[in-house]
Structure formats: C-alpha cells, structure tokens
Chains A and B, each alone.
Chain A
Amino acid sequence: MVQSKKQRNLFLAFCLVPTFLMFSVFTLYPLFNGLYYSFFEWSGASSLAEFVGFDNYKRLLNDDIIPLTILHDYFLVVTKVIGIMILATFFAVALTQMKIKEAPFYRIVFFFPNIMSVVVIGILWMFIYNPSLGLVNSGLEFIGLESWTRPWLGSEDWALPSLVLPSVWAGIGLFMLMLMGGISNISKSYYEAAEIDGATEWQQFWKVTLPLIWPQIKISILYIIITTLNGSFIIVQVMTKGGPNNSTHVMGSYLYEQAFVKYNFGYGATIGVMILVLSLITVLIMQFFMRREKVEY
C-alpha cells in the first residue's frame, strides 16, 4: 500500500474512535455506572446519594416481591420456549416437507407479528382479553362454556398465563423461518435412504430432521431465553403494569417501578444487576446443557 503508517493510523482512528466514544458513553459507561449505583441509596437529587454498601443487596434478598418476579420471568421463559418451539417446529416441517402450494402465504402471515410494535400487540390483546367485549370471553360464551369466562388480565391467577399467548403469537414466525432455513439445507438423500429402510414419517422426523436442525433449535431456544429475560417487561408494562397485586411483575417491570415510579434509583440499579447476573448464568447453563455433538451422516 502506498500510504504512510501515520496516514493509515489516522484513517483507522477516523473509522473507529468516534463510534467507540459514542458506544462507551451511551452503552458501556451506563452499564458500569449502574453497577456503581447499586451501592447507593439515591432518590435522584445528585447531592443526596448516600453510600450504603451492600444494603440494597440485603434489601433485595429480603424483598418478598423479588422471588415472585424471578419466578414470573422464568415461567414466561419456560412457557414461551415450549409453546414457540413446538408450534414453530410443526409449522416449519409442514411448510417445507408437505409440498403445500400456499406455503409462501403462511410464511408471510406468520412472520408479520414479529415486526409489530409491542405496544400495538399488547393493546390488541388487552382488547381480546377484555371481560365484556373481548374475543376470548365471547368465544367461550358462544360455545357454551360461560363458566370459563373471567376477567383474564384482572385475575391474579390468570393474568400471567394470559401474557404467554400474545408472546407466542408475536414470536413464532421468526423461529419458524430459522428452522425452515435449517430443514431446507438437509439433503433429500437422507429421506430417500430412510424411506428405503422403511422408516415412517414420524421416525424420519425424530431420526433425521430433528438431529440435523439441532443447531437452529439450540440458537432459537437461547434467543427466546435472552429476549424474554431482557425484554418480557415491555409487554407486562403495556398490558398489566405488573398488576393485579404484583401477580405479573417481572424483574424488568419491578425495576422500572422502583426506579422511575418510586424514585429508588439505587435499589433499581441493584435489581438491574440481578437481571444481568441471572441472564448471564442462565445462558451459560443452557449452553452447557445443549451442547451436543454435531450430527453428521
């Protein structure tokens, strides 16, 4: 190259430094600062921040709502993983292997909720669950199950499970497409060989399709876990705001309430540290459990 070393370094700095500065100021610094805040009692006015050591962490351990929020988050993780993966796998197999003419239509329709705003999804489903006008209750009445109707989002027992359906509804398309990508890469010859050996379609699914799309399944599950732990509070905030009686609070929505509604910024930061630690641990554990030798035939 005909450029001097100095010019090269100048160009490198031009490419990297401004971006990295912005990234440091608006991403790295806030994350580390959040860690620092978690050792302070602070209601927002800058002069009144008081160093309290591990008091916020002690408070975290003694807060009765915290175990509930963790439980609710993992309830959503587990139900979403199961619901999305079963349906997405079924749809992916059906659309790739069944030679259905209108498959592109289903692909386009199923994916669309993935790019809808959580606000729109949440409000739409609030109306679907509406006790008097909503589709769920009118549907139940229509088929004669009036005793099953209830104020879904207003019931302490049913509000949290009611949040699963919108999340599955909004998430399926993306994972279906990821699995379809995996399935379309499987060579036809495996199925032909399995056919000759007399394998039923069900056996082909378990012995050929599933092992060969394991990488995609693994990534999908990890992705659902990460996005749920890092983002489930958004739909909670839109649909229930953590209520009724804290029965739908997840870690993120509790953080929001503590920090930005009750102005306990130090304690909010402590909850944030907990979210960070828990989601990192969860991802590491899942990666350990789901490592599985790559299948090659």
Chain B
Amino acid sequence: MKRKGGFFSRSFVRIPLIIWSLAVLYPIVWMILGAFKSNAEIYSNPWGMPESFNFSNFVDAWTNYNIDISVFNSLIVTGLGALLTLAMAIPTSYALERMRFRGNRLLFTLYISAMMIPMVLGWIPLFFLLMQLNLLDNIFGLAIVYAVSQLPFSIFVLTSFMATIPKSLEEAASIDGMSPYGILWKIITPLSTTGIITVTIMNMIQFWNEYFMALIFLQSEENYTLALAIDYISNETQYTNAWGTLFASLVIAIVPVIILYAIFQRRIVKGMTEGAIKG
C-alpha cells in the first residue's frame, strides 16, 4: 500500500515535529546548563555550553536563599497532602462505586462538578477560615487545603478504577465473615494499587508544582514552598542579577518531576488524559 508513506511527505512532516521538539527541549536543557554557569558566562554567552561545570550556584541557592528549607517544606506538603487525599478518597470512592444508598448519584455529581468550578472565589473565605483555625501561614494547613482540592479528581479516577474489580471477590469474603472494613482494607485497597499509584503520582506532581494557593496561604519565608522560594528569587534577580542561582533553584524544582516522569511516564499520561476526559 502506498498510502501516507511517501518518503518526501514524511520528511516534510518531520520538519515541524523537529522544530517543536527543539522548542520544548532547548529552553529546558539551556536552563540546566545555565545552572552550572557563572554569572559572567551567562551574560557573555547566554545560550551556549558552560565552560566548566561548577556547583557554586547550587550551593548559593541552597545556603544563601534557604532553598533547603523550601525543599523540606515542599516535601512535607507533597507527602502529607498525597496521604491525606488517599485517606479521604479511597473509602468514599468505594462507597460511591459499590454501595447503594439514597443520594449516591447526587453526591458523585457534586464531587465531580467541583472539578469544573473556579476555586478563586473560595480562596478569600478560605484565607479567613484558615486564620481562624490557626492554619494560615502553616504548611500543614496548606497540605489539608491541597488534599481537599484534589479530592474530586482522585475520586473520579478511583471510582472508575474500582468499577473494574470483580464483585465476586467481595461477596466471597463477606460470606467468609469478613467485615466491610476488612473488605475495604484487605481486598479493595490492594486490588486498586494501580489506580492508587496513578492518583498519587498525579497529586504529588500537582502539590509539588502548586504556586497560587501557596502564595495566598503562606506568608513567612521559613514556610515557603519551593514554588514560592523560586518566585521570590526570581523577583530578587531583577535587582541582584544572580541568574545562575535562579537557574539552579529551577533545576532543583524540576529534577524530581523529571525523575517521576521517567519512571511513570505511561501512568502520568494516562492519568492526565483520563482526568481531562470527564465531560
């Protein structure tokens, strides 16, 4: 068959593909290279290779700009947020997917439609609510807010995943006298591992990257997450011109995401496209 396979038409199509690949990769690679350049080098040769790889920018970011504290805060928020999301989403997903009760559809619709609602409006009252609960400017407060914000997405993915688990397993366990709590914990949760991992990776990337809620709900520098710390350095850079330090902190922020993407590429892609196809 000669269809869609002419050497020339394929080469012709490759040009835009290659150009776009360069457009994506070049800025990222260049940012990583820039992190190893001295400031003078960035000015004299902003888009080329570094003369030698030195880590002074990383040391500067780590010690003088408190990136170490921000990395720690981000890790706490990301880990705690992901765990909290699971603790809330798994039981609810199970009940919504497997148990019949009045208002089941309504509750499911309520959670799912929250994915479409712009939350900006809620952030103003949330600010005062956190203040009253003494959770403002507090990374644990932020972790709770993050966890609840990812509930709809997590419930959506987990319910559709649990729907694929055969009912006979639960029935057999129930006849053997296992309590519903036991079924949820010992049968459903282990069998949903794939779905749980997908949701958790997506949530962790989301929490690690999140910027705006952190901007609103955190105020003091010792509580900054990585995104805020980088934004802070970026604003400082306009005056200090410490570009190398800025790039080093960007690299610190992006490396965990690159690693997760390298390991879980398929799951991440699947999680995100399924999350989008909900309409």
Chain A contact residues, CB within 8 Å of chain B: 1-3, 7-8, 11-12, 14-16, 18-20, 22-23, 25-27, 29-31, 33-35, 37, 44, 46, 87, 90-91, 94-95, 97-100, 105-106, 108-120, 123-128, 133, 135, 138, 169, 172, 174, 177-178, 181, 191, 195, 201, 216, 218-220, 222-223, 226, 229-230, 233-234, 237-238, 252, 255-256, 259-260, 265, 268-269, 272-273, 275-276, 279, 283
On whether the beta carbons of A112 and B47 are closer than 8 Å, the reply is no
Most buried by B among A7, A98, A119, A279: A119
On whether the beta carbons of B216 and A91 are closer than 8 Å, the reply is no
Q: Is B195's CB within 8 Å of the partner chain A? A: no
Cβ-closest chain B residue relative to A93: B13
- Chain A residues positioned under 8 Å from B63 (CB to CB): none
Tally of contact residues, B, Cβ under 8 A: 87
Q: A16-B95, A23-B111 are in contact. Are A124 and B250 (CB under 8 A)?
A: yes
On whether the beta carbons of A230 and B120 are closer than 8 Å, the reply is yes
On whether the beta carbons of A30 and B272 are closer than 8 Å, the reply is no
**What's the least CB distance linking B127 to chain A, in Å?**
8
Q: Main SS of the interface on chain B? A: helix
On whether the beta carbons of B4 and A97 are closer than 8 Å, the reply is yes
Contact with A275, one of B118, B209, B276 (Cβ below 8 angstroms): B118
Tell me which residues from 220 to 279 in chain B have a Cβ below 8 Å from any Cβ of chain A: 227, 230-231, 234, 243, 246, 250, 253-254, 257-258, 261, 265, 268-269, 272-273, 276-277, 279
Q: A15-B95, A27-B149, A230-B118 are in contact. Are A120 and B144 (CB under 8 A)?
A: no
Q: A19-B151, A222-B279 are in contact. Are A116 and B257 (CB under 8 A)?
A: yes
Q: Which 4 A-B pairs give the minimum distances between C-beta atoms? A: A272-B121, A30-B122, A117-B209, A33-B125
**What's the least CB distance linking A149 to chain B, in Å?**
15
Q: A111-B269, A118-B211 are in contact. Are A11 and B124 (CB under 8 A)?
A: no
